[in-house]
Amino acid sequence: MACSVRCTGKNIVRSLLFTAAIVFGVACGHRDQAQSLQAAPSASATGAVVIHEPPKLTSIETDKVDALGKPIRVACVTCHTARVGQKLPTSPDDLRDFHQGLVFKHGDNTCANCHVLGAQDSLRLADGRLIPMREAMTLCGQCHGSQLRDYKKGAHGGMSGHWDLASGGRLRNHCVDCHDPHAPKFVPSTPVLPPRDLKLGPPIPHQAGPAIPKLSTEGAHP
Amino acid sequence: MSEPTEKQPRRVHLKVLGATLGASAFAYAMAPLRAWTKELSVDAFLQKHYKELTKEEMTKVIARLEADTKRDYGADVTIKDPKPRAGVEFGYALNLSVCIGCRKCAEACHHENNHDRATNNSYIRVLEMEQGSFDMERGNVQYDHAVPAPGKFYMPVQCHQCDNAPCTKVCPVQATWKEPDGIVVVDYNWCIGCRYCEAACPYHARRFNWTKPEIPKEEINPDQGYLSNRIRPQGVVEKCTFCLHRTREGKLPACLEACPTGARVFGNLLDPDSEIRWVLEHKRVFILKEELGTKPRFFYFFDV
């Protein structure tokens, strides 16, 4: 009898401890602060999407540089209003006086496919209509329709600014910002920021290519 | 007066033994205090978990962190704690057809997120892959020749902000979790540096701060977020947060702005008119290591 009473007493203590543990646990589990959210983006987009206007559409670099060492640019019309040639050249090889060294690698196009004699600040669409030089994207889109479609949907071409146009504007690249219209393919360039990971071994042997110089261990982790 | 009984010396011995064991256990329990460094203030040691901090406490924490940055790096920085936005879940897509592997994204990440300069650390790793193959084991991150190289394609890999994230599940102290807008974050002051999350991530997206990051004062990005690009302490894990200090304020991520090819598309998955939704609905999209069931918010796509 005495034993059973003692045992019951123990059980009561145990159950009290258990309850206390649960209460403590519940209390601990609810220490998180209620998470506050920012307001949802406004439905009305107030930020403007601006397409960058590359200077090369309306001016050209000269061999003169300004005080900061930047090449001085002159507007196309500076020369092209004073000099009107007899006919457009068919290829850059025909350029004798100006635009020397122009590299042209853009399919079988000739100069006259896009340029107009006497209206060098305009471009000519395939149907003969003239458009201002700064609207060159329409001209590019004649052949590169899928790229223009992707561009209009925001899936082609670099940009900066805001994804949420209610928070601010966005500056988008023009075709000509990235692609030289006379040689649109990207020129291979040296990559930046080589990785210097901890214990990064030599390049995998089956990778063909130039040898990679030994990585500097300066500042590497111990 | 009375002679000690036979029992008493044994009791004394047991007491001494017990006290010794107790003292040893106590000393062992307090051992972490021996690792106390002068960088670790009492306030930092006693700081609560991010989710438990009230607004007032967070204000104090941020003031302390800004003062620490001033003391350690000499830079005046502003640390914010931007909250997720209602009705926004972020998604990111990358066009493998146009990526040229220039690593400009990794460089932008390096500067935006205040990475250690000596290690060229970045949350983005660009893999050079053989065309026609998708064997990531053969991907090379150390390429050092003009890009794009013939016969290769380039695949930048960063945190996929998985909906079923293995990294958050393995954290023994809940120092990493998923936010309502889909971003997986780390409370750098709660992380114990066990690196389980780094091992669990199938995308190798997490980095560990082996040393205290070293950044010249003038190169520190002063626009910082508590959960994102503030300078991390030594011994904690860090990761890409889709630049939440920028994106939660409506801006584009730094890596997207740096991309010279426009390969990156970012936006709100819940907005049916967003660019990211157009890509997901109209392009040939694939998910890296889809078979693992991680449900990423980072997608790759091809033109055509």
Interface membership of B255 toward A (CB under 8 Å)? no
How many structural domains is chain B composed of? 1
Beta bridge partners of A131: A123
Question: Can you tell me the distance from the alpha carbon of B55 to that of B66, in angstroms, rounded to the nearest whole number?
Answer: 16
Q: Which ipTM was obtained for this model?
A: 0.85
A201: pLDDT confidence band, cut at 50, 70 and 90?
low
Instruction: Specify the pLDDT at position B178.
Output: 97
A181: pLDDT confidence band, cut at 50, 70 and 90?
very high
Does B24 map to a domain?
no
- Cβ A190–B266 below 8 Å, yes or no? no
Average pLDDT over residues A175-204: 82
- Cβ A192–B210 below 8 Å, yes or no? no
Q: Strands, E, within A117-216: which ranges?
A: 122-124, 130-132, 159-161, 170-172
The predicted-structure confidence for B245-298, as pLDDT tens digits, reads as follows 999 999 999 999 999 999 999 999 999 999 999 999 999 999 999 999 999 999
- Cβ A167–B251 below 8 Å, yes or no? yes
How far apart are the CA of A183 and the nearest CA of chain B, in angstroms?
Answer: 16
Compare A201 and B181 and report the one with higher pLDDT: B181
Residue pair B238/B186 in contact (Cβ under 8 Å)? The answer is yes
- Cβ B250–A162 below 8 Å, yes or no? yes
Closest CA to B284 of B108, B96, B121, B100: B96
Q: Which residue of A has its CA nearest to B154?
A: A191
Radius of gyration, alpha carbons of chain A: 34
Share of chain A above pLDDT 90, in %: 41
The predicted-structure confidence for B80-93, as pLDDT tens digits, reads as follows 999 999 999 999 99
Domain ranges in chain A are: 49-178
- Cβ A167–B103 below 8 Å, yes or no? no
**What residues in A contact B261, CB-CB < 8 Å?**
158, 178, 186
- Cβ B149–A188 below 8 Å, yes or no? yes
CB contacts < 8 Å between A and B, how many? 180
Chain B residues 4-33 within an 8 A CB cutoff of chain A: none
Half-sphere exposure of A34 (CA within 13 A, CB side): 1
Instruction: Specify the pLDDT at position A212.
Output: 44
- Cβ B268–A164 below 8 Å, yes or no? yes
Q: Which residue of B has its CA nearest to A219?
A: B118
- Cβ A192–B107 below 8 Å, yes or no? yes
**What residues in A contact B266, CB-CB < 8 Å?**
163
The predicted-structure confidence for A17-58, as pLDDT tens digits, reads as follows 666 666 555 555 568 888 889 988 888 878 899 999 999 898
* Cα-based distances in Å from B81 to A82, A144, B161, B228: 60, 44, 19, 9
Residue pair B166/B200 in contact (Cβ under 8 Å)? The answer is yes
Does B226 map to a domain?
yes
Instruction: Specify the pLDDT at position A218.
Output: 42
Share of chain A above pLDDT 70, in %: 75
What the block records as the tokens of B283 is 């392009």
Residue of B102, B142, B265 lying closest to A212 (CB–CB)? B142
Residue of A146, A173, A203 lying closest to B140 (CB–CB)? A203
Residue B177: give its domain's CATH number: 3.30.70.20
> Among A193, A200, A206, A218, which would you mutate to test the B interface (most chain B Cβ atoms within 10 Å of its Cβ)?
A193
Closest CA to B253 of B16, B28, B93: B93
How far apart are the CA of B10 and the nearest CA of chain A, in angstroms?
Answer: 30
- Cβ A41–B95 below 8 Å, yes or no? no
Residue pair B254/B108 in contact (Cβ under 8 Å)? The answer is yes
* Cα-based distances in Å from B54 to B43, B173, B191: 15, 20, 19
Q: Which residue of B has its CA nearest to A222?
A: B210
What the block records as the tokens of A172 is 């988008």
Q: Is the pLDDT of residue A10 over 80?
A: no
Q: Which residue of A has its CA nearest to B52?
A: A32
For chain B, residues with pLDDT lower than 70 are: 1-7, 39
Question: Can you tell me the distance from the alpha carbon of A151 to that of A146, in angstroms, rounded to the nearest whole number?
Answer: 8
- Site of tokens 């991309």: B259
Instruction: Specify the pLDDT at position A96.
Output: 80
> Among B61, B121, B143, which would you mutate to test the A interface (most chain A Cβ atoms within 10 Å of its Cβ)?
B143
Does B152 map to a domain?
yes
Does B53 map to a domain?
no
**What residues in A contact B54, CB-CB < 8 Å?**
33
- Cβ B257–A160 below 8 Å, yes or no? yes
